[in-house]
Amino acid sequence: MFDKLVEFIDAIRGGQICTLTAFSSVKMKTGRKDKETGVYPNPFVDATGEPLVRMVSTKQIRLGRYDSIMERRTGEEFESAPLWGGAGVHLSRSIVQHTGTQEQYLAYTPENTILRQTQWNDGRELSPVELSRLDEWRTPSKPSEAVVAWEICKLANVISLRAAGETFYNDEC
């Protein structure tokens, strides 16, 4: 299913800076379901409580195995922690697979976030009024003191990836 994307990623030279555009879900409170209508009061979730909006981020990333990038940066041997408590397997330099779910992920070192935008799942932008109403339903995130050394992104969530003057577009997003 993601053969062309994996082929594009594997052709990228290790450690190269790329531009990734991908989406992730927005964590939200649903509120209590109305007993008579069965509807959640949150206008940004569907009948099952799933979000109707998503966060789209464009960021600069560096592909390649995190431990080898750290070794080059520090000059010391480095071993990254195992993914998902050991349930992650590297299929290539930048592709990992969860052995339980069999889902594939892009593993990368984040460099810089360029743009973050919340939009409806169908790609429409939220109006300024909708954005202000959305804030009251978002689950507050807990600030972390930990330095994010690397991140993962489901291959299914990749919208586009640009590297070395070429761009891969995922037509299914």
> What secondary structure does DSSP assign to 24-41, as a single string?
EEPPB---PPPTTT---S
Residue 123: phi, psi to the nearest 5? 100, -10
The residue with tokens 């600030």 is 143
pLDDT over 70 (residue 81): no
Intra-chain end-to-end CA distance of the chain, in Å: 13
Reported as a single tens digit per residue, the pLDDT across 53-66 is 999 999 988 886 55
Q: Mean pLDDT across the chain, nearest whole number?
A: 83
Q: Is the pLDDT of residue 155 over 70?
A: yes
Contact 51, 119 (CB under 8 A): no
Query: Would you give the DSSP letter of residue 86?
Result: G
Q: What is the pLDDT of residue 86?
A: 79
pTM: 0.77
pLDDT of 29 higher than 60: yes
The pLDDT-based confidence of 101 (bands split at 50, 70, 90) is: very high
The whole-number pLDDT of residue 108 equals: 85
- For position 147, what pLDDT does the model report? 55
Residue 151, pLDDT above cutoff 80: yes
23 φ, ψ (degrees, to nearest 5): -115, 155
Average pLDDT on 34-50 reads 90
User: Which has more pLDDT, 143 or 112?
Assistant: 112
Residue 78 pLDDT greater than 60, yes or no: no
Query: pLDDT grade, residue 75 (50/70/90)?
Result: low
With beta carbons less than 8 A apart as the criterion, state whether 22 and 56 touch.
Answer: yes
Q: Report DSSP state, residue 5.
A: H
